[in-house]
Amino acid sequence: MREIQFREALREAMVEEMRLDKSVYLIGEEVAEYNGAYKVSLGMLEEFGSERVIDTPIAETGFSGIGVGSAMNGLRPIVEFMTFNFSLVAIDQIINGAAKMYQMSGGQFNIPIVFRGPTGNAGQLGAQHSQNFENWYANTPGLKVVVPSNPYDAKGLLKTSIRDDDPVIFMESEVMYGDKGEVPEEEYLIPIGKSKKVHEGKDVTLVSFGKMMKVAEEAYIEAKKENIDVELIDLRSVRPIDYNSIIESVKKTNRLVIIEEAWPLASISSEISHHIQRFAFDYLDAPVHRITCEDVPFHYAPTLIKEIIPDVGKAMKAIKAVTYK
């Protein structure tokens, strides 16, 4: 099977859907003339023209509002944020517009819109450019939140998201756009809300999503060296969360570790921890452990960045704690 980059998988998903459906269009900063800040939309202006690949000013509130309004009128916009840190400027359009319109209109208006772009830290970009908002958006009824970890999932999930009749938050990562992975040439879709069991195991369940799957994969390899059999689950989406798959795994392993890049309070990992203690408490042989970013604004100094983000060392410490090694 061919290997393509993460950015190419995203581009293929958008191009294929735009060829299939003329109501789909892309809008955002530098998506057209510059081919996207991360070259995700390379060549799309040339193929689809300026009416369907639309450059905007630096005005997230404005172009997000255009997206919501056009979705109410039968189009399927893909709104690209240069980073989800900048989505905070448009959060009223997303939370009070896109997420609530179906309910507030009594079912008269679906909002088939995708908000996509990178989330999380990418090194020395400063505190205001290095945040994770998956849990913020996942807190909102009316939204679906997708966080792929590899090119195969990125393409299949983005195609599904574009076809969805409800608003989807689709979160990527600057440091993953160059990652390569196997992606079939034939069409495929991946359902939103269904996790993937990456590795079978019997000693401990390890759950993660998005960029943190890199840390989880490293931890899986290190644990194997110490004869700890890890069952690794990639959530793929965090609203909805595939709780059933986690519960079934915990029933087998009796232990759970969760890796997440966001801050600890009111996070995806805390929600999963609650759900497991509520519905699988009798199967647990150890407390649930989670690894998150430290509860501080993101640092600039590389030495401090290393201290606050999840890594394989912290993951292994948690795995050993729940397995009493």
Helix or strand holding residue 27 (H, E)? strand 24-28
Separation CA 113–CA 89 (nearest Å) = 18
Check 16, 30, 129, 199 and give the catalytic one.
Answer: 129
Task: Choose the catalytic residue: 8, 29, 60, 271.
Answer: 60
What are the distances in angstroms from CA 220 to CA 10, 61, 248, 257, 312?
27, 42, 19, 12, 9
- Distant-in-sequence, close-in-space partners of 78: CB < 8 Å, separation ≥ 6: 14, 24, 25, 26, 27, 113, 114, 116, 162
Specify whether 60 is catalytic.
yes
The secondary structure of 28-97 as a DSSP string is: ETTSSTT--TTSTTTTHHHHH-TTTEEE--S-HHHHHHHHHHHHHTT-EEEEEPS-GGGGGGGHHIIIII
The reply to whether 185 belongs to the active site is no
**Of 119, 42, 57, which Cα lies nearest the Cα of 88?**
119
Where in the sequence numbering do the catalytic residues fall?
60, 129
